[in-house]
Amino acid sequence: MSALKAPFREIAVAARTHDNKFTDKWLTSYPSDVDWHAPLVPSTLPDMFDEAVKRFGPQNLTDFLGKKLTFNDLGEATSKLAAGLQNAGITKGSKVGLFLPNCPYYISCYFAALKLGAVVINFNPLYTEEEVEYQARDAGIDLMVTLDLKLLFDKVAAVAKSGAVNRIMVCSFAPLLPTLKSILFKLFKGKELADVTAAGLGSSLLTYDALTDNSGQFTPAELDAENDVALFQYTGGTTGVPKGAMLTHANLAINCEQIRLWSTGIEIGNERIMAILPFFHVFAMTCIMNTAIKCGFEIIIMPRFDLDQAVKIIKSARPTLLPGVPTLYTALMNHKDLDAAGLSSLKYCMSGGAPLPLEVRRKFEALAGCGLIEGYGLSETSPVATANPYNGLEKENSIGQPLPGTYISIRSLDDPAIELDVGENGEICIAGPQVMAGYWNKPKETAETFSGEYFRTGDVGYMDDDGFIYIVDRIKDMINCSGFKVYPRRIEDAIYTHPSVDEVTVIGVPDEYRGETPKAFIKLKAGTTATEEDIRKAIEPKLAKIEMPEYIEFRDELPKTMVGKLSKKELRESEPS
């Protein structure tokens, strides 16, 4: 491994002896039912998985389109796959890529690889061949796992033929389905299946069925939770260049424990969590898959996001927990077939991945009758670093307080070594046991993104007197208008108060006089109307003159990422330079 930071134990000691002027702020107003000082013992993900199987064995772990598997079922499947992979030469340090949609295979393949000491690399199934090849070469993939669906397999086969992947393991989709659905799928959607034998991959092609045809006996790898890397989570980070954040077993396992400690409103072993977000994204991987396993939840899995299907599943499967991104809650609120009764099973919803507009939170909570709790984190922090309390003090527009064992420091935008005072805008910096070891093969970028033990997030924000943190905007999203810093999020929050606005995002566009000027892209709610003049009239009292968008463009749809976040990148690329 390259550019590794100090292990967790040294980081923790450094953080606790560091002169952080903010610590006493959150400790004096911390939720009474959460201990910030709670011991966080490093463990490996395989140990976490095995303990869950032992504790919750006969309970359901997954519900995939109606077919349910227990913790015991997935435990047995994982052991058999680990044995097969070991016989196939996968060992400690091997790189195993997962090119999969949400499905039970994700769980067995993820933990089987980790039991052998391999490093897992998540891939977005919607990547182009070029994107898959770049990430595969950068990570050094030894084995890529995918399904026998043409949409997925054909991309991976092409990448394998390019030499970027040594071997492929193919899992059959049909057996994932209940018996009747499996038969119907083969009858009516057989054309969606790839002819894997015709791909000409020879001995480099392995199958899940063949690898799991064994007794499940294997030799687990000896793992050091604090220093052995479990995962490369690729991210644009603060520079936009794809980098693999190296997350150790301790990073990921401890973040699950931090989430458990914080989530005082949940019941261990008795929740049903909805997996609409994709497992390849760090938010869903940790907050849904791994945390559900640790806490004994049943995971209601959707293979891909379809709003109508999601509504049907919510109404029939009755989840109690629903993590999502802000656009998901907006879409659910506006769906014609979903009302308060359909959402009545929900105890808590957790928002992350993008800033949660205040109007969206208020309206969704009023409709669903449950709390919508906003958290914050990044791929580099496993991901969760802060969250709003389940019980206790609430503050609107805040991303909450630091999770147990987590330090937040607000640093100068000009010099990250300088810590600012309470209430001052600066770069949000994070230290704690969930912070990554570094970027794979990128020592320069690793060094640049740390200030001492603190990870520099690239987000601008401040902390108040009660230790609640507020994000103003991303550093890279700030608009420089005649030398003044304009934050798109302030403009977006103002526009969201208009009752006809469904979604909005603001970017900076070139301006001959001011250098840059704000431009707002707006999607209106179905059946409503609003003009540019209407929007300007509504937001004028809320914004300074320099913050008023110079341009407003209405669109039928706004571009989104695979996770459902509004994509400023695509809008910037569509604008003339």
Q: Token pair for residue 268?
A: 């261990």
Interval 259-314: pLDDT, tens? 999 999 999 999 999 999 999 999 999 999 999 999 999 999 999 999 999 999 99
What is the percent of the chain with per-residue pLDDT over 70, rounded to a whole number? 95
487 has a pLDDT exceeding 90: no
- Alpha carbons 231 and 248: distance in angstroms, whole number: 7
With cut-offs at 50, 70 and 90, classify the pLDDT of residue 19.
Answer: low
Q: Is the pLDDT of residue 90 over 60?
A: yes
Q: Tell me the one-letter amino acid at 238.
A: T
Q: Does 45-57+66-211 carry CATH code 3.40.50.980?
A: yes
Residues of the chain with CATH 3.40.50.980: 45-57+66-211
Express each pLDDT in 103-147 by its tens digit.
999 999 999 999 999 999 999 998 889 889 999 999 999 999 999
Numbered ranges of CATH 3.30.300.30 in the chain: 478-574
Mean pLDDT for 544-570 is: 91
- pLDDT at residue 496 in the model: 95
Across the strands, what pairs with 503?
Answer: 523
| Peptide bond preceding 383 in cis form (omega within 30 of 0) | yes
Confidence of residue 11 (pLDDT cuts 50, 70, 90): very low
Specify the higher pLDDT residue, 94 or 575: 94
Helices vs strands, H then E, count in the chain: 19, 27
**372: nearest Cα among 354, 353, 389, 393:** 389
Lowest mean pLDDT among 294-303, 515-524, 561-570: 561-570
HSE of 470 in the Cβ direction (CA atoms, 13 Å)? Answer: 19
- pLDDT tens digit sequence for 492-508: 999 999 999 999 999 99
In the CATH scheme, what is the code of domain 478-574?
A: 3.30.300.30
Distance CA 248, CA 246 (A): 6
The whole-model pTM stands at 0.87
- All CATH 3.40.50.12780 domain ranges of the chain, comma separated, are 8-43+250-474
Alpha-carbon distance 173 to 153, whole Å? 11
Second-level CATH architecture of 8-43+250-474: 3-Layer(aba) Sandwich (3.40)
